[in-house]
């Protein structure tokens, strides 16, 4: 029996590692094995910022991957938590009755939904802001290079 509350917490806390996918679909789930890839790339982007500073253009692409993965898993936790017992049990516990206990919502489920909503929204907005800020700063710097008047020795 797959418990909705446990799945929501696994999606929120361990989603970027695919833990909720392995819990619900088993260890052969391909998406569960793919989820750690953007997580690792995002962590590599953070390491690149530590090594090369904030002007590293590759990190501008890699760090938002981590944020989008975390935000997507938080969204999945919200969707799990908001599923009706009938829908949850029909999908993940097909041999159980539609009103079986693993599909019910309790206070721990609500806690997972609230935490995922708060953290997921903050991470998504921070990822977008980080990526767009550095992209636009780069565009402004390139535009300034183009618009500079030629010096006396340049033509």
CA dist 56 and 78 (Å) reads 34
Is residue 154 assigned to a domain? Answer: no
- Asked whether 80 and 11 are in contact (CB, 8 A), the reply is yes
How many domains are there within the chain? 1
- Most confident of the ranges 50-59, 100-109, 133-142: 100-109
* Per-position DSSP letters for 2-35, written without gaps between them: --HHHHHHHHHHHGGGTHHHHHHH-TT-HHHHHT
CA dist 117 and 124 (Å) reads 10
Q: What is the mean pLDDT of the chain?
A: 91
Is residue 46 assigned to a domain? Answer: yes
Distance of CA 145 to the CA centre of its chain: 36
| Mean pLDDT, range 4-31, rounded to an integer | 96
Q: Which domain holds residue 84?
A: 4-147
Is residue 69 assigned to a domain? Answer: yes
- The string of pLDDT tens digits covering residues 48-96 is 999 998 888 888 889 999 999 999 999 999 999 999 999 999 999 999 8
Indicate the pTM of the whole model.
0.85
Is residue 155 assigned to a domain? Answer: no
Report pLDDT for 152. 66
């Amino acid at each position: 029996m797959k418990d909705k509350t446990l799945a929501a917490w696994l999606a929120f806390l361990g989603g970027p590692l695919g833990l909720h996918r392995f819990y619900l679909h088993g260890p052969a789930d391909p998406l569960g094995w793919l989820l750690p890839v953007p997580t690792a790339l995002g962590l590599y982007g953070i390491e690149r910022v530590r090594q090369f500073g904030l002007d590293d253009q590759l990190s501008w692409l890699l760090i938002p991957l981590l944020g989008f993965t975390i935000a997507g898993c938080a969204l999945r936790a919200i969707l799990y938590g908001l599923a009706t017992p009938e829908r949850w049990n029909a999908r993940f516990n097909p041999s159980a009755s539609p009103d079986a206990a693993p599909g019910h919502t309790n206070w721990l489920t609500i806690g997972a939904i609230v935490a995922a909503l708060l953290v997921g929204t903050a991470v998504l907005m921070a990822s977008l802001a980080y990526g767009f800020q550095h992209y636009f700063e780069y565009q402004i710097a390139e535009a300034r290079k183009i618009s500079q008047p030629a010096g006396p020795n340049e033509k």
